[in-house]
Amino acid sequence: MARPLRLMEIFVELADSLIDDFDVIDFLQRLSTRCVELLDISAAGILLVDQHGELQAVAASDEHTRLLELFALQHSEGPCVDCYHSGEARVNIDLTDLDTTEPWARFAVRARQAGFRTTHAVPLRLRDRVVGALNLFHTADVPLSDEDVALAQAMADIATIAILQQRTLDRSSLENSQLQNALNTRIVIEQAKGILAERWNAGVDSAFSSLRAYARAHQLRITDLAYAVIDGRLDTTLIPAPSAVDTSPAARRRRLPR
Amino acid sequence: MISDTLAAVLTRLYLGAHEGLAAACTKALQVDGLALSLVVDGWEPEPLWHFGTASALLEELQFTLGEGPAPDCVRAGVAVTVPDFPATPSVRWPALSTAAAELHLPVRALFCFPLRLGAVRVGVLTMTTDTPGPLTATQTSDALALTAALTAWYLGGHEADLLGAPGTGPAELNRAETHQATGMVSVQLGVPLAEALLRLRARAYSQNRPLHEVAGEVTARRLRFFPDPDAPSAPDNREG
């Protein structure tokens, strides 16, 4: 489909979700997958600054550990940290260029091992502050055009709006506290992933896939479902467990990138 | 950015020097009263410490009556702000509004911040002021930094060493693998998440390794925790 039409569809879809009582993790995940589609890239993730000034991933286009590790590495160094501190987008970073990647060589090595060639970081802006970054990866050396960068910035702005619009008890809720809530919601998902992975003797990646598939099939919010798993309110045998999963590092490498 | 006074308070907290902590926090946050309540064994929160009589009374009232911004904050896990308490419609917390009016409490505004780590509810920190109006940006940042530090402290079983040791401080509590491992260990031991996290932190501390490294061993299934056979609770949940 031609991009303008698809673009319009996606913006309508995202705007529609924002007026509903939405789940922030579901929303940001969907936004990440739409970034991959619209910008024709390989992976996308959203990072938010925590109360210690470090960046933490809240959502990604896919939940493979190899990708999440790349976000985790950037809690203190990497293109997203640069973008967070400068407030400027950092685009078309060649991960194979040793001069460019020298300040965060460890991140660059891991990104290349995961199969990525190019990365981009776009700020999540809140008036005069930066509260996080949208991080994009491509397995090929395909630069983003100026138009692509503007689109990425628009997606990043929508992510910020969504985080500030989360349902809370109280409309006057504080912006910083909304960021904190998004990060905490992410933690709930990770805790539930661990519980399911252990019960099923499966990898955390496939545990998450099964949880998400169940949430979608039953039209439940992923966060509510994660809470139900943790509180023991949900009989987890009802969720189809992932079929015999190979969690060895070799298998993980084979599965990523797609 | 947090204020210098709060940074000094956090340093004291990490050193385990808790004498006069409530007063120091109240001063750093530039409010009139402060109350901390903790969830004990998964039950309703109980007031632990406070600064200011009115603040303490209001905290007791809320948890006795079971309603108010602090219980709401714990239940929902998000901050609840009440910048003009007497002007709040009484339908929101009817019993609390009545009781507070009868006692002529000077409190005009309340700001409740959750102590939580994902699904683990730790408690709530309530700031009160005798004048109405919202918090400043610095007060909010300070309150969030303080609640994060208090969360790490009380989740550490009050062990100063767990916070002071490298790789076990509050920032370490934000890593994904730590939370995944917490979930896994809670199933391995048949214990709540908070206790599973404590076991992970104790292991990291005793081996002098960063918490996320020990957590990574668990998620990679190179490390398992086994229920203590002498423990009073029956280990019935080994395989989930």
What DSSP letter does each residue of A216-231 carry, written as one string?
HHTT--HHHHHHHHHH
* Rounded CA separation B203/B207 (Å): 6
ipTM greater than cut 0.90: no
**Last residue of one domain, picked from the residues A168, A201, A233:** A168
In a domain, A211, yes or no: yes
Judge if A67 and A125 occupy the same domain: yes
Q: For an interface test with B, give the residue of A191, A199, A234, A239 to mutate (most B CBs within 10 A).
A: A191
Gyration radius of chain A over CA positions = 18
List residues of chain B with CB under 8 Å from any CB of chain A.
72-73, 76-81, 83, 113, 116-120, 134-135, 137, 140-141, 144-145, 148, 170-171, 174-177, 179-188, 193, 219-221, 239-240
Res A47 pLDDT > 90: yes
CATH number at residue A192: 1.10.10
- In this prediction, residue B169 carries a pLDDT of 59
Res B133 pLDDT > 90: yes
CA neighbor of A10 nearest in space, from A43, A41, A32, A26: A32
The phi and psi torsions of A235 (rounded to 5 degrees) equal: -75, 105
Judge if A157 and A221 occupy the same domain: no
Amino acid occupying residue A252: R
Domain with A59, as residue range(s), is 3-168
Overall number of domains in chain A: 2
Res B41 pLDDT > 80: no
The phi and psi torsions of A92 (rounded to 5 degrees) equal: 55, 50
A244's CB contacts (< 8 A; 6+ apart) are none
CATH number at residue A22: 3.30.450.40
Query: Considering only CB atoms, which chain B residues are within 8 Å of A170?
Result: 78-81
Query: Considering only CB atoms, which chain B residues are within 8 Å of A245?
Result: none
Strands A90-94 and B45-51: unpaired
Name the residue with tokens 């660059």: A108
Percent of chain B with pLDDT over 90: 60
- pLDDT 10s digits, B215-232: 999 999 999 999 877 655
- In this prediction, residue A44 carries a pLDDT of 97
User: Could B188 and A52 be called an inter-chain contact, meaning their C-beta atoms sit closer than 8 Å?
Assistant: no
In a domain, A176, yes or no: no
In a domain, A175, yes or no: no
Judge if A35 and A145 occupy the same domain: yes
- In this prediction, residue A258 carries a pLDDT of 40
Judge if A67 and A137 occupy the same domain: yes
CA distance B102 to chain A (A): 26
Judge if A247 and A146 occupy the same domain: no
- In this prediction, residue B191 carries a pLDDT of 94
Judge if A109 and A221 occupy the same domain: no
At residue A254 the predicted structure's pLDDT band, cuts being 50, 70 and 90, is very low
Alpha helices for chain B (secondary structure H):
4-14, 21-29, 53-65, 69-76, 94-102, 137-155, 160-164, 176-189, 193-206, 211-219
Cis bond before residue A257 (omega within 30° of 0): yes
- In this prediction, residue A76 carries a pLDDT of 79
Judge if A109 and A161 occupy the same domain: yes
* Rounded CA separation A178/A164 (Å): 6
Res A16 pLDDT > 80: yes
**CB-CB: which of A54, A173, A230 is closest to B193?**
A230
Judge if A163 and A193 occupy the same domain: no
Helix (H) or strand (E) holding B128: strand B120-129
- In this prediction, residue A73 carries a pLDDT of 86
Comparison of pLDDT for B182 and A2, the residue scoring more: B182
Judge if A195 and A109 occupy the same domain: no
Query: Considering only CB atoms, which chain A residues are within 8 Å of B175?
Result: 72, 75
* Rounded CA separation A100/B171 (Å): 28
* Count of Cβ atoms closer than 10 Å to residue A155 Cβ: 24
Which residues are bridge partners to A55 per DSSP?
A49
- In this prediction, residue A225 carries a pLDDT of 95
Q: Chain-wide mean pLDDT for chain A?
A: 87
User: Could B78 and A50 be called an inter-chain contact, meaning their C-beta atoms sit closer than 8 Å?
Assistant: no
User: Could A184 and B77 be called an inter-chain contact, meaning their C-beta atoms sit closer than 8 Å?
Assistant: yes
Comparison of pLDDT for A111 and B16, the residue scoring more: A111
- pLDDT 10s digits, A166-206: 765 555 557 778 888 899 999 999 999 999 999 999 999 89
- pLDDT 10s digits, A48-79: 998 888 899 999 998 887 888 898 888 878 99
- In this prediction, residue A255 carries a pLDDT of 45
- pLDDT 10s digits, A113-154: 999 999 999 999 988 889 999 999 999 999 999 999 999 999
